[in-house]
Amino acid sequence: MAGFSSGNFGANDFGGTRAPDIKGSFRVDQAWGLFQASVAAHNNHVAYYGATEPTGHPGDKWGWAAQLALSIKNLPTGPGDTINMQAVYTDGATRYYFQSLAPQNLAMFGGTSVPGAYRSIGLAAAADGVFGPWSWHFHGPDLGLPGRLHPQLNPYWNSAIYGAYAQLKYGSGGSALVCAAILGLGAPTAGITTCNPDFDVAQLGLITRWTPVKNLTFSADVVWTHLDQKFDGTITTTAAAPLVAKPAATYQLKDQNTASTRNQS
């Protein structure tokens, strides 16, 4: 239960790398901007159904990712202004959008109006696929749409407005495997009325930079994040979560919002 309440829907059972990722791209880079199309194939090799080798494992499955990117320069709004857009679609190669800098498991906390609940929680997990005895399911499709507008205010100041939207779907087979494991926890998850591990994430941010002299830049970054998770009901944790200082209690399963800031020089 401690793992599920931190956004972990199962054990990581990566079996190592058997084949390198295969990638190809087409790129046009000119004065007006840039266009790029790329694809990648990713081999998924997992370990064993159980703890030891005799339990066996499913065969390897190949996933893939496709990306389109567009950057437009020389906008009529002013010199140095740019627009950058990107779209990514993956099936069995989730990390080509949910990159290595993003968490694989996510738990976000907020308020609640449910009587008896301590707080609310939003849960999400991103991996290339899920498997169980005699079944192997990709998460796909996963869709990502990041973009950025970069206006150059003057030689000393510039800002960027950026945003992103990502969607992950387990598919009917993958959802059934995940929910069987979650609901199999018994009493702690008996309050779940809808079990669906799919989720969406949306972000909107603004960064402003000031460069008073060459090679010295001060920046302030503000970003809003919305987690649209698909679980409904409540869960009851049986152990405290020390990393986030949350007690063992009942939590409402709910969408979450958060805002964060970062300053650097």
Taking residue 76's Cβ as centre, other Cβ atoms within 10 Å add up to 5
Cis peptide preceding 54, ω within 30 of 0: no
Region 119-147: mean pLDDT is 71
- Return the pLDDT at 195: 94
Single-letter amino acid, residue 215 = N
| Helical segments of 102-193, H only | 171-183
Question: 174 and 129 in contact (C-beta within 8 Å)?
Answer: yes
Q: Which range has the worst mean pLDDT, 4-18, 158-172, 178-192, 250-264? A: 4-18
Q: Which of 162, 168, 242, 152 is nearest to 200 (CA)?
A: 168
User: Distance between CA atoms of 49 and 177, rounded to whole angstroms?
Assistant: 13
Report pLDDT for 137: 54
Strands 142-144 and 105-110, by their bridges, are: unpaired
Contact 207, 162 (CB under 8 A): yes
Q: Which pLDDT band holds residue 234 (cuts at 50, 70, 90)?
A: very high
> To 5 degrees, how large is the angle CA 179–CA 58–CA 92?
65
Is the separation of the CB atoms in 61 and 33 below 8 Å?
Answer: no
> What is the three-class DSSP state of 257?
strand
Region 46-61: mean pLDDT is 83
pLDDT given at position 237? 85
Q: 10 Å Cβ neighbour count for 28?
A: 11
Kindly state the average pLDDT of the residues 36-46.
93
Distance CA 213, CA 183 (A): 59
| pLDDT, greater one: 95 or 144 | 95
> Can you give the C-alpha Rg of the chain in angstroms?
22
Amino acid identity, position 19: A
Q: What single-letter amino acid sits at 152?
A: Q
DSSP code of 221?
E
Q: Residues with Cβ < 8 Å from 15, sequence gap 6 or more?
A: 45, 46, 47, 48, 57
Would you place residue 15 in the very low, low, confident or very high pLDDT band (cuts 50, 70, 90)? confident
